[in-house]
Amino acid sequence: MLVETRDLSKVYGHNPACNKICLSLEEGQVFGLLGPNGAGKSTLVKMLLGLVWPSSGQVLIKGQSVNNLAIKKTTGYLPELFRLYEWLTAQELLVFYARSYGLAKHEQSSAIAEALELVGLRGREKEKIKGYSKGMQQRLALAGAILHHPQLLFLDEPTSALDPIGRRDIRDLIGILKKRGTTIFLNSHLLSEVEMTCTHLGFINKGQLIVQGAIKQFLQDNQQLVIETGNLDANLLQGWRLKNKLLELTPDKIVLNVESKNEVPSIINELVRRGVPIYNIDINSRGLEEVFLDLIGDKGGLS
Ligand SMILES: Nc1ncnc2c1ncn2[C@@H]1O[C@H](COP(=O)(O)OP(=O)(O)OP(=O)(O)O)[C@@H](O)[C@H]1O
Ligand SMILES: [Mg+2]
């Protein structure tokens, strides 16, 4: 287990920002933490980094304390609210980061060039940061987070300032880092982005981790099979044992709830055997938005 928390809690005054969170991440996962504003996502990330001291409970990275310096050196962090030294150039800032990470001098320039390339800022590194747009600053902060090839990378809303091209670039970048074996912990409100990048998900609300698991588990449940037919004679379906899975039945359409694609061939076979004309077949997976609303729904949001 790369990351493990045991009953991890943080209370601010009387406000339990995180409440007895038991979370686990294996190496190589891209883990997306989803939850409404104020749910406790950033607080959790800061505790995982050792930046916020837990009120109770434990954080273990590779079975060790998060405050172990050797562990800290193998993590990277893009904070949700970051400020860069605006009077420096991007190159100067990254040299400062590289030194802080303890990179040897001969490694620094190639690491910086590679990070700038990965975030799409190559060629702009001689400019002062104060002249950078918000999105460029976010890219630069990300370059700073990956400069030292961390094994574990925390990204707290990494695309909040980015345009659609920038978001796609970050998705691609996450793909590259994943191939390198980097484990990534991502906080994001952009569900489509999470759906495209994450291998695992956790849902948090009001400081409580509601559920965590592989993304497939959330998206494969309850798929809808939509069968287009025409002038359907309902008598053809008499005695059909799958009628309990029916969501919609009209002369032109049959919609069924299916748990996995494996059920589809036998359903179609049966309909053909009964003489039902079939013009088209579609499977609509439930999107993450529906899953999110089901799990968090009206219970979500600031209290
Ligand atoms: N330093 C702090 N002092 C007091 N309360 C805090 C502090 N940091 C966070 N909180 C409170 O803890 C709760 C969780 O905040 P957190 O920033 O972790 O939420 P979040 O899920 O990251 O929200 P968002 O999606 O808006 O970024 C909120 O009620 C917030 O007001
Ligand atoms: Mg946050």
- Which domains, and CATH codes, for the chain? 3-215 (3.40.50.300), 222-285 (3.30.70)
Read off the pLDDT band of 46 (50, 70, 90): very high
Dihedral-angle region of residue 275 (phi above 0 means left; psi in -120 to 50 means alpha; beta otherwise): left
pLDDT recorded at residue 299: 60
- Of all protein residues, the one whose alpha carbon is nearest to atom 5 of ligand 1 is 12
Residue 86: C-alpha distances to residues 14, 92, 93, 109, 133 (Å): 37, 11, 9, 21, 11
Across 145-163, average pLDDT: 94
Across 97-110, average pLDDT: 94
Read off the pLDDT band of 259 (50, 70, 90): confident
Instruction: Look up the pTM and report it.
Output: 0.84
User: pLDDT tens across 12-45, in order?
Assistant: 999 999 999 999 999 999 999 999 999 999 999 9
Q: What is the distance in A from the centroid of ligand 2 to the CA of 230?
A: 50
In Å, the largest CA–CA distance within the chain is: 79
Tracing tokens 């209370």 back to the chain, one arrives at 11
pLDDT recorded at residue 90: 97
Among 285, 296, 107, residue whose Cα is nearest residue 204: 296
Q: What is the distance in A from the centroid of ligand 1 to the CA of 145?
A: 22
User: pLDDT tens across 213-235, in order?
Assistant: 999 888 876 688 999 999 898 88
The 10 Å Cβ neighbour count of residue 67 is 11
Q: What is the distance in A from the centroid of ligand 1 to the CA of 148?
A: 29
- Of all protein residues, the one whose alpha carbon is nearest to atom 9 of ligand 1 is 43
Closest approach atom of ligand 1 to CA 40: 18
Ligand 1, residues at Cβ distance < 6 Å: 12, 15, 17, 35, 37-43, 80
Q: Which ligand is nearest to the CA of 47?
A: 1
* Whether the Cβ atoms of residue 8 and residue 59 lie closer than 8 Å to each other: yes
Q: Which chain residues have CB less than 5 Å from ligand 2, an ion?
A: 41-42, 80
pLDDT recorded at residue 5: 97
